[in-house]
Structure 1
Amino acid sequence: MNHFDEAATRAPLGFDRLVPALRAAFAAEARVPPRHVHAIEAAGSKGTVLIMPAWSDAGFLGIKTINIFPGNSAQGLPGLHATYVLYDARTGVPLAMMDGNEITARRTAAASALGASFLARQDSRRLLVLGTGRIARMLPAAHASVRPIDELWVWNHRPEGAEALAAQWRAEGWNARAATDLEAAVREADIVSCATLATAPLVRGAWLAPGSHLDLIGSFTPAMREADVQCFAGAHVCIDTEEALQKSGDLLDAMAAGTLRAEDVRGTLATLCRSEQPGRPNEAGRTVFKAVGSALEDLTAATLVWQSSDIG
């Protein structure tokens, strides 16, 4: 079995390649069984383990194992750790072990940008990022591949984390600053992208400006949520996959409150990429994209890594 470390996994996954690859993958066919979810409690720590398989007619089978431990931040550790194994789908022979953290972060940011390519206004230039983790750090580059982003704001529950990330982005050439007043920053943003592990709403629907796009990619269980129920009221809502309706605390809360009905969801990435349903209906309306992640995205990224290598 071949091994791709973090750098080797990252190299082929520029967003100029990955976002179009995801668009093509969602427009095509693949088998993506429901993920396995297991709650873990050991030595006083609590976490979640996800096992996510997928395979395609291209002849690849992939399985990602991802461990999420929100309490890791108190120990100075990332809250997410993942591994990815790619197999030959025709024989089951293992082909490669890849850095699952890099695949997860890059495909999540790319899916966020893919959603925005259908739902954010064409002239969206001001991006507000909630969170400072691995995925949050990639969102400017991902969104700039589909929209003319030239102003960045970042908010975090730890202000020093937001200041540090804003400084890093400035060093990379972005016009970036930390937001201390979340409400004010949300009101001014064209795109609000949430990449957190929050369990209580951070963004309020009353704050969102007409014509804005709300991107929710952090929460992925019924116990997690980043937006209050009013964020969905009157908005054009799309999701990454139908699984989001069962797994997203944001959506479950909104449906329980009556600000969203399942039948009012306007599309998935598959139906959007196949042009079966439209994206943004007009310039003035609000849009929301809610993603819980799909093993198809992981398989697409891993396939790109494998096919871009000398051995693939």
Structure 2
Amino acid sequence: MRIITAQDIEEVMSFRDLLETLRRAFRVGVVAPSPHTQRIARPTGLDDGSLTISSAWHNFAAQDTVERGFIGTRLESCLPTSLEHDAPAVAGVYLLQSGKTGTPLALLDGKALVNWRTAATSALASSYLSREDSSRLLMVGAGNLAPYLIDAHASVRPIKEVLVWNRSPAAAQQLVEHMQGQPFKVSATADLGGAVRGADIVCCATSANTPIIQGEWLQEGTHLDLVGSMHADQRECDDTVISQARLFLDSYDNTPTTTGDLKEPLADGVLSLQDIASDLAELCQGDRAGRRFYEQITLFKSTGTALADLAVAGHVYLRV
């Protein structure tokens, strides 16, 4: 069995290749049971940790996948006390097995896999939902995922200018310095509203508990990509955004019930399930239209899928 490190993953990846692997995966589909989460109790009963196990495998009833199919399982822990030891709050690994024999093939670094999977999924959605001439990207959030998201969006649209906003201006400036040398201009901004008004694509990767993107800021033709605030008590956009935008998901299976950006508007009657235009599988299969006209505001909400995890893991395994 191979051990595939984060460095190994970085060395073989490019978004252009990965997007086509993901596009094929969403067209074909996989078997993906609901994730299973166990609570890891703490002595005080507060700030308990969790262990989540999510799996997926190719449909082995289809003859063309019997010989090359995979089984994949992601194990991910979230322990609040990890911060006390200067460790990531969320950590995990990905086990890839042969679909024919069940033999373990590789153990992949979970964080690196999720970084590439999340950013590539956003870019895949953008290829259907953002305007083809989108050249101005606003990155809201300056965490570990931000540079991947910037590069991913730039791989599908002619990005010429990137603005970075973060609650900590120092963190925004640090990301700007990290991204120097790219074929587009990168700079920081303190004016979030003004930056949203001037952006073709707004990408958010934050852990905001209250909405930071206001619908009154959105201009005609904007594409909004929400990949942060994945829990039911977290939100990145307000109800005005939800009521203005044509809404798309990475998957119908879990997104509406797991993220506050949709769960709260659904509960309040601002949004109905019938208002959701499509998920990525339907977009990639051509069953539903993406952007319908130039001035339309589109919104993609992502919480991650086991399908994308498996596709990215297999993509890496075949290249390392």
- Fold match by TM threshold 0.5: yes
The answer to whether 1:306 aligns with 2:308 is no
Aligned position for 2:98: 88
Could you tell me which residue of structure 2 aligns to residue 49 of structure 1?
A: 51
Deviation, 1:10, is 2.3
2:250 to 204, 220, 240: 240
Secondary structure at 2:93's aligned position in 1?
Answer: strand
Contact 1:70/1:79 (CA < 8 Å) preserved in 2? yes
Alpha carbons of 1:215 and 1:75: their partners in 2 closer, same or farther (altered >3 Å)?
farther
| Aligned CA distance change for structure 1 residues 165 and 237 (closer, same or farther; 3 Å) | same
- Aligned partner letter, 1:12: V
Q: Distance in 1 between matches of 2:176 and 2:229?
A: 23
1:98 and 2:108 matched: yes
AA aligned to 1:278 is: A
Tell me the distance in 1 between the aligned counterparts of 2:162 and 2:200: 10
Q: Which residue of 2 aligns with 1:23?
A: 23
1:12–1:304 Cα contact (<8 Å) kept: no
Distance 2:220 2:86 in 1: 38
Give the Cα separation in 2 of the matches to 1:269 and 1:191: 18
Match in the other structure for 1:2: 2
Q: How far is the alpha carbon of 1:90 from its aligned partner?
A: 2.7
Report the secondary structure of 2:187's partner residue.
Answer: strand
TM-score, normalising length: structure 1: 0.93
The answer on whether the counterparts of 1:190 and 1:211 sit within 8 Å (CA) in structure 2 is: yes
Alignment-derived partner of residue 128 in structure 1: 138
Aligned pairs (5 A) from 1:1-312: 1-40=1-40, 42=42, 45-56=47-58, 57=60, 58=65, 59-68=69-78, 77-242=87-252, 243-309=254-320
Name the SS of the counterpart of 2:159 in structure 1: coil
1:134 aligns to what SS in structure 2?
Answer: coil
Which amino acid is the alignment partner of residue 53 of structure 1? S
Hey, what's the Cα distance between the residues in 1 that align with 2:85 and 2:236?
23
Note the residue ranges of structure 2 that are not aligned, 5 or more in a row.
Answer: none
CA apart distance, 1:152: 0.5
TM-score (norm 2): 0.90
Q: 1:215 to 1:281 in 2, by over 3 A?
A: same
Q: Secondary structure at the match of 1:215?
A: strand
Tell me the secondary structure at the aligned position of residue 97 of structure 2: strand
Distance 2:164 2:79 in 1: 23
Cα distance per residue 1:122-170 (max 9 Å; x no partner): 1111111111222211112101111111111111111110011012112
Deviation at 1:171, TM superposition (A): 4.0
The whole-number CA distance in structure 2 between the counterparts of 1:285 and 1:75 is 46
Q: Any gaps of 5 or more consecutive residues in structure 1?
A: none
Count, aligned residues: 309
Deviation digits for residues 196-244 of structure 1 (CA, Å, limit 9, x no counterpart): 1222211111111111011011122212221112111131111000111
Q: Sequence identity of aligned pairs in percent?
A: 37
What is the CA–CA distance in structure 2 between the aligned matches of 1:71 and 1:132, rounded to whole Å? 23
How far apart, in 1, do the equivalents of 2:81 and 2:192 lie? 23
8-17 or 286-295, which deviates more: 8-17
1:306 shift after superposition: 1.2
Q: 1:245-302 deviations in whole A, cap 9, x for unaligned?
A: 1212101112123332111101000000000000001111110000110011111011
Deviations 1:56-79 (A, max 9, x none): 143200111223457867875444
Secondary structure of 1:10's match?
helix
CA distance in 1, matches of 2:83, 2:163: 22
Of stretches 148-157 and 8-17 in structure 1, the one that deviates more from structure 2 is 8-17
